[in-house]
Amino acid sequence: MSQSRMVMALTGVFALSTLSNAAATGLNSAAKAAGLKYFGSATDNSELTDSAYTAVLDDTNQFGQITPGNTMKWVYTEPSQNSFSYTQGDQIANFAKTNGQLLRCHNLVWYQEAPSWVTSGSWTNASLIAAMQAHITNEVTHYKGQCYAWDVVNEALNDDGTYRQWELYNVIGPAYIPLAFEAAAAADPDVKLYYNDYNIETAGAKATAAQNLVKTIKAYGAKIDGIGLESHFIVGETPSASSQASNMASFTALGVEVAVTELDVRQTLPETSAQDQQQAKDYVSTVQACLQTKNCVGVTVWDFDDKYSWVPSTFSGQGAADLYNSAVQPKPAYTSVLSALNAAATAGSGSSSSAPTTLSTVSASPTSSPSSAPASGTVAEYGQCGGIGYTGPTVCESPYSCHSTNSYYSQCY
């Protein structure tokens, strides 16, 4: 357990009734009280014209982080070579900025939604590397200072752990991955850089391959800060909290943070009450796994309501995958997730099922919780100490100093 979460546990020992009375009423507020950095949602441009939808999305009590679902991807931002367009991506970036929400920028390199000039071009190794580097440099520079993190490379692995074959891999080879991270870091040294993928949420060949990617990128000398666990699950088939937490720890042991980046739990239609109840348990399993894992920084759902879910158009006969229904009303999963987050905050630990914390369990290990601070009013190592919308302590514990990552986030180290 991180130091900040231990401190919160101690507070609970002395003032449990006060904490219970102060239960958060929104997902993001509860997540931050439990020691996470954010609870967020993906969105897309067309959805921002729906006033009922945006009334929920722009409420930072509910969502403290935004991910653009599509319009920062390569096909949108560089539809023809060296011709860049950021109008649609900027709309979502400005939405987040106006609300004081963190922005997870998504994504720079992906085999899908790559422009045809990339996938059908006639390339040499050198010319395709140059084209990829130019794309990354231009886009990351455009959004410099606006993003908490970039998903630099997305879904580069097959389910058996082999590399996915597509234009960049076929021409450049696996080196395109560290080269992409190198280019992103050069364009913005402060933004966090992620590898993002699905079916790496539990131990197996693909998760092992993703861990090896982290090692490869680092061995190359490039920067990687995090792993995004997409977490697109099926009702009744979601991995347990313990198996997800164990797998998260296998990534954080490599010196990177993790985040749940695209969470949803799809049902077989028609939606039923029984599936809703199981869905609620499944959502909680993933949220608890993050809460239990040092250096799991947050949870993002993909999207938050069924009206705009990607599931029905992708998986025939399936849907009802989100926390809110199509009428933008909370479902049982929402209530269960909020309760789990509040329970974790009250207990002062990453799980409502954790053993009670006593004075003897306090650890002096560095904190992974950037939104929390020690009881002294100073901020521990790796904790947040500033940024747009931040209202907590700004003085770091000795011998650490507060350093600006971007306009939204400063950290003690």
Residues labelled as active-site residues:
262
Query: Between 241-252 and 273-292, two packed helices, what is the crossing angle to 10 degrees?
Result: 30
Among 133, 137, 139, 156, CA closest to 216: 156
Among 262, 261, 277, CA closest to 331: 277
Pair 373, 379: CB distance under 8 Å: yes
59: its two tokens: 């409420």
E strands present in 269-303: 296-301
* Count of CA atoms in the C-beta half-sphere (13 A) of 168: 28
Among 78, 92, 86, CA closest to 44: 92
Pair 101, 64: CB distance under 8 Å: yes
How many helices (H) and strands (E) the chain has is answered by 14, 13
Strands 384-386, 409-412: parallel, antiparallel or unpaired by DSSP?
antiparallel
Q: Three-state SS for 33?
A: helix
Count other C-beta atoms under 10 Å from residue 358's C-beta: 10
How would you list the strands of the sheet with 384-386, edge to edge? Answer: 384-386, 409-412, 402-406
Among 106, 57, 51, CA closest to 303: 57
Backbone phi, psi, residue 267, to 5°: -110, 160
